Amino acid sequence: MADLQLISIGIYAVSVAISALLLYIYAKNYRHIKSSYNIGLMIFAFLFLLDNIITIHQAIFSWSYLMDDPVIIAHIFLQDVIDLVGLGALLYITWK
């Protein structure tokens, strides 16, 4: 595997952890508040968690043909970083 591919998998693993933490926080808030808004946040966090798990699987088993093109590598990496920054911002706001 290419170095950037391994870094991308690491970014996805961090995204999985953040998504799982967000799901836990939203579920905990739902138990206390019983708001339909929290249900929407739980659905979002669950789907994002599922998306990242599926992407890790794809990165490990079927990205080898993509890793020959440096433009695709840069695009995937940039998208991974943007997703992680967005999730980090969401976690920061939620935690406060």
Is the pLDDT reported for residue 8 higher than 90?
Answer: no
In angstroms, rounded to a whole number, what is the distance separating the alpha carbons of residues 79 and 6? 15
Q: At what angle do helices 3-33 and 70-95 cross, to 10 degrees?
A: 30
Q: What average pLDDT does range 4-28 have in this prediction?
A: 91
Give percent of the chain with pLDDT exceeding 90.
54
What's the pLDDT at 2? Answer: 67
Please state the separation of Cα 95 from the chain's center in Å. 17
Please list, in sequence order, all residues whose beta carbon lies within 8 angstroms of the beta carbon of residue 76, skipping any fewer than 6 positions away: 8, 63, 66
Is the pLDDT reported for residue 36 higher than 90?
Answer: no
Q: Where are the domains of the chain?
A: 3-95
Q: Are 10 and 75 in contact (CB under 8 A)?
A: no
Give just the sign of the alpha carbon dihedral 49, 51, 52, 57. Answer: positive
Q: What average pLDDT does range 19-36 have in this prediction?
A: 92
